[in-house]
Amino acid sequence: MPIKKKTKKLEPQDKKLIEEIIRVDHAGEHGATQIYRGQLAIFNENTEFGKEIKEMAEQEEIHKSTFDELIVKEDVKPTIMFPIWNIAGYALGVGTALLGKKAAMACTVAVEEVIGQHYEEQAEELKKRKINPQLLKTVKKFREDELEHHDTGVEHQAEMTTGYILLSKTIKQLCYTAIKISKKY
């Protein structure tokens, strides 16, 4: 089948932005599925709590597949840190789950706060440059999902976790670092 030609030739800086968005979101969504995979290795997915985690995990799977498709379609090189983020995500999921339900949800709250903000910034930039409306739509939709996950975490008393502030700060810092590296490399 012939490959469909893209209609508009992008400016180099716009092409770079789109590549960065796809590379970092691809890594992030894989990381997210790994976090939940780790948590579901600890929590029984047939319990009320496990089902909540599973529901978020299933949405992350959709996000992940979307960026799996986009990375191929737009011919973007995945981040070189990809295997590391996958291991780190899984470890973070297992680690927080071992600390308990509230800590597991605190992980979601911290991650989604960063990711929600991150998607928002991407959406703003795409809107400003008036490029790739399809990607803009995706980013906006996923942002809504992430904010729902965030709220689910808060509803589960994530903020009542012992050592919440430190845990949250550490996880957020990890996310910022992962984003910074994965955009470029």
Q: Does the protein bind Fe ion through residue 22 (CB under 5 A)?
A: no
> Please, which residue, 29 or 113, has the CB nearer to Fe ion?
29
Number of residues in contact with Fe ion, rule: CB under 5 A?
A: 6
> Please, which residue, 64 or 102, has the CB nearer to Fe ion?
64
> In whole angstroms, what separates CA 101 from the centre of its chain?
20
Q: Does the protein bind Fe ion through residue 149 (CB under 5 A)?
A: yes
| Cβ-proximal residues to 71 (8 Å cutoff; 6+ apart), any chain | 22, 23, 26, 78
Q: Does the protein bind Fe ion through residue 25 (CB under 5 A)?
A: no
Minimum CB separation of residue 18 from Fe ion in Å reads 18
C-alpha to C-alpha distances, 18 to 26, 30, 123, 135, nearest whole angstrom:
12, 18, 11, 9
Q: Which of residues 101-130 bind Fe ion (CB under 5 A)?
A: none
Q: Which of residues 152-171 bind Fe ion (CB under 5 A)?
A: none
Q: Does the protein bind Fe ion through residue 60 (CB under 5 A)?
A: yes
Binding Fe ion by CB under 5 A: which of 37, 63, 102, 156?
A: 63
Residue 98 has a CB neighbour count (10 Å cut-off) of: 13
> Please, which residue, 14 or 78, has the CB nearer to Fe ion?
78
